[in-house]
Structure 1
């Protein structure tokens, strides 16, 4: 990471005073031992007009994992062979805190007035993980006053046909206090990376709120930032969001929607949150249909499974997902339940675009917020696998109503609610697809709104309820 300060015309300070703020002498190369290796501070340039300080991390992968316990992972070498030595992550955030701690907290005994001065700064980060793409970086840093220049990095420059990686070269330019700039990096770099290299405790909430003081509570992406900074530890996320709610007089209940729907850009609605209303609508409809054996296709981490199992009439519940990690989370959720609940739930790893004979014969299947994650050319395969091969008696499909997106002030025009969404259909588009599926496979279909409906744009979520036409009989 490089921080460059340029002296404006007429300023009473010189650019090399950056060394006072950072508490590091520009005339010396300094090394600071870290638990995972070493942090080096050097000044490639230090003149009255321009000064650059570079923080370079030297990561020792053995030291990084030393002392950690636990069984072997699916890819045991992954703890030694990874991107930690090359990409900005929580390791860099910790180095900022330990090496530039005085500057991070806005203190400078020798130049206190400079610590309170907005400086022309440029920050360069050669490799930043960003699976959300360039737009995500812009959404995170631009509201804080930065001009953002992000360049995707090739997966391998020697093989351009391989395309781009999920890393970007990031350059931030802005005029602000150095302490404020460092707090932005301290919070947002771990959020972009989405993981921490150390165990998270309740103290992490205090760190987040201290670093985010004066900007995080008003940030349009504060819920996403909070969740990612806390590595999706829901017990910590709930407390942090509640404390942020107190800062801006919002209620914790208004923020529940973000806890319920990971990475969605839904604003926090009045009760009930959209994610809660969605699950309630699905459960209610399944009960009205008299379903006993239920498939949750694309079950993720088991939020719907957790509610289905509360109802004894659902005698057999099967959750299917392609993600092994998500299924492990769902399994842990089930293990915390009483035995009479957990024994009715079975988890199954599989892709929804492939037929699976074990999924035949169920009363109902649910595809809750799933189809929009599938590339349109593969929807036909999902249709064959679910409606043709599995052929449950009823199928419930929920998906965002793209027309409603214009009502989300924090969602830029043309953007989807989730970075992984391939499409978000209008009511007409969803209706056309659903009716074609019903005709192709002997179902009737009706539609229900979920969430508060707008007179012009409709509801935020739309649900199609497919029922097998009794005249068609059982599929062959």
Structure 2
């Protein structure tokens, strides 16, 4: 299978610097699917084309997996999909990461690019690539005389993008177009998707479709990644808690009121070690670290990118040694048991549960309340009854595109009391934000306290 990338930005041979592959040399690399050859059909001042040719061993693909006819007779060696994506990531990894030590200014410059793929499944190609700034031309390939068209097309993508962006688009979307992979999909694949999708996937209108197809509909992985993508988009979106309240004058933002309430509850409970579950970019971690009372602070999030953002905002790299010893960030999913979360005085799920599919809430309950089992758990979530008072929120809409639900006050209490009864906690409730006489407060909170009779 073949992929070519062409640029006409003069001098076009600068493409060799970006790819870390010299235009005058043909090179061969070993990949898990077979040898990958890199060469330049054209390399001059006006235009430079790099070709990636992957030689796939069809027998090697199924060796050790049985020998049915359909395993040997298939399109894997000929159509660009996960095999090509793996080769792309292996051969052009440094370029995909946006590094060019010799010419760093090149890596930050959008280039006129033309990508040609002789055979890819074409059904979704326009839908997936066009929102990213590509012009898509697809020539459907015929099956043969009187057999009609195939599901494949010769595709040409043209656009002006960073080369690193273009490579990451291809790395993710080639397997998505195909809807299949030649290897097992696990938690590592979810992490790869978040890394390769950084900077474009959170804003893609079909991010859910992309995530589901890339992860082969592994529901738990899909849920975790979609929740992460939602949190990554928060910097570009107006947060729901910052929507103007039509009934109130300008005031302290709801986000700040929520953080202040959480800190106050933790302070009054005498908590010294706190884990922020679903910490995102660190909005709550900063005020936690500012309080000397909290001698151990752990932030957990499924998104590695969100954790990098948190580390940057907290200035962990320049933080003093004693202060740095109090803080830890770690990647983890809240619906999985993590023994590293035991032993904390308190845990906080601030605007987190509404991002979890309802059928996954029992898994979260088990992981947090039954296994991690902190002395105090504080949960905040939107009060859907209050939504009509946000004048910028369309009628009937939830506050965030990734919210799987938003509870009424009665629904929240029913869930919280069930959790408390099943896991040995008691609970009480707090309103956060300006209360409306009929609709209550915009944010509702439940404070779970572990009953110590079991000791």
TM-score normalised by length of structure 2: 0.51
Contact between 1:35 and 1:64, CA under 8 Å: does it hold in 2?
A: no
Shift of 1:255: 8.4
Q: CA RMSD in A?
A: 2.5
Matched position secondary structure for 1:54:
strand
Counterpart pick for 1:123 among 115, 120, 143: 115
Counterpart pick for 1:17 among 14, 17, 20: 14
Shift of 1:248: 2.4
Q: 1:252 to 1:195 in 2, by over 3 A?
A: farther
Contact between 2:133 and 2:159, CA under 8 Å: does it hold in 1?
A: yes
Contact between 2:227 and 2:355, CA under 8 Å: does it hold in 1?
A: no
Point out where structure 2 has 5 or more consecutive residues left out of the alignment: 240-351, 361-395, 406-455
Separation in 2, partners of 1:254, 1:33: 41
Match of 2:161 in 1: 176
Match of 2:377 in 1: none
The reply on whether 1:244 has 2:244 as its aligned counterpart is: no
Shift of 1:67: 4.0
Shift of 1:22: 0.9
Superimposed CA distance per residue, residues 62-108 of structure 1 (whole angstroms, 9 cap, x where no aligned partner): 2222344xxx58xx122222111110000111011000111111111
Separation in 1, partners of 2:166, 2:353: 28
The reply on whether 1:81 has 2:73 as its aligned counterpart is: yes
Separation in 1, partners of 2:54, 2:23: 18
The reply on whether 1:102 has 2:87 as its aligned counterpart is: no
Shift of 1:162: 1.2
Contact between 1:245 and 1:252, CA under 8 Å: does it hold in 2?
A: no
Q: 1:49 to 1:243 in 2, by over 3 A?
A: same
Match of 1:36 in 2: 33
Matched position secondary structure for 2:83:
helix
Match of 1:207 in 2: 192
Superimposed CA distance per residue, residues 128-182 of structure 1 (whole angstroms, 9 cap, x where no aligned partner): 023xx3xx321111110111111111112xx1x2111111111110011100000
Q: 1:164 to 1:116 in 2, by over 3 A?
A: same
Q: 1:86 to 1:252 in 2, by over 3 A?
A: farther
Matched position secondary structure for 1:82:
coil
Shift of 1:256: 5.2
Counterpart pick for 1:227 among 212, 216, 228: 212
Match of 2:133 in 1: 145
TM-score normalised by length of structure 1: 0.49
Match of 1:53 in 2: 50
Separation in 2, partners of 1:244, 1:66: 37
Contact between 1:241 and 1:252, CA under 8 Å: does it hold in 2?
A: no
Match of 1:90 in 2: 82
- Alignment of structure 1 residues 319-330 onto 2, 5 Å: none
Separation in 2, partners of 1:252, 1:41: 48
Superimposed CA distance per residue, residues 375-401 of structure 1 (whole angstroms, 9 cap, x where no aligned partner): xxxxxxxxxxxxxxxxxxxxxxxxxxx
Q: 1:79 to 1:269 in 2, by over 3 A?
A: farther
Match of 1:354 in 2: none
Separation in 2, partners of 1:155, 1:111: 45
Which runs of structure 1 show a deviation greater than 3 angstroms over 4 or more consecutive aligned residues? 249-257, 268-271
Contact between 2:172 and 2:197, CA under 8 Å: does it hold in 1?
A: yes
Match of 2:7 in 1: 5
Separation in 1, partners of 2:32, 2:131: 34
Matched position secondary structure for 1:166:
strand
Separation in 2, partners of 1:224, 1:256: 16
Separation in 1, partners of 2:189, 2:353: 19
Separation in 2, partners of 1:117, 1:200: 34
Superimposed CA distance per residue, residues 442-467 of structure 1 (whole angstroms, 9 cap, x where no aligned partner): xxxxxxxxxxxxxxxxxxxxxxxxxx
Contact between 1:35 and 1:63, CA under 8 Å: does it hold in 2?
A: no
Contact between 1:21 and 1:114, CA under 8 Å: does it hold in 2?
A: yes
